[in-house]
Amino acid sequence: MAAPDDSAKPRLASGCRWGGTEQDRVILFPEGAIKLQGTGRQVLERCDGQRTFGEIIQELQKQFTDADPVKIRSDISQFLEQLRHKRIVDY
């Protein structure tokens, strides 16, 4: 899977939306729902169509200073590509 370009602006795909409560947020999509916690939730909350992939990476690298910045980029790239493949995220 190819990593998103730094200028890409990830957002929820058409037909997908946030649901659930503030404590138990889920992404609702035509085939079901995904409950989000932890880092996955933090990544997707930043996928608002306004921030670029590069900006999202920078924000999370600043937040998780103990983690390897290269690993952060790789993990988030893989996460978003999996969600794009499932048509939950678009960019």
Rg, Å, the chain Cα set:
13
pTM metric for this prediction: 0.89
Nearest to 43 by CA among 3, 7, 73: 73
- Per CATH, the homologous superfamily of domain 11-86 is Coenzyme PQQ synthesis protein D (PqqD) (1.10.10.1150)
Q: Is 69 helix (H, G, I), strand (E, B) or coil?
A: helix
Nearest to 51 by CA among 91, 1, 2: 91
38: left (phi over 0), alpha (psi -120 to 50) or beta: left
**Backbone phi and psi for residue 27, each to the nearest 5 degrees, phi listed first:** -100, 120
Q: What is the pLDDT of residues 37-91, one digit of tens each?
A: 899 999 999 999 999 999 999 999 999 999 999 999 999 999 999 999 999 999 9
CA 77 to chain centre: 9
Report the pLDDT value the prediction gives residue 31, as an integer from 0 to 100. 87
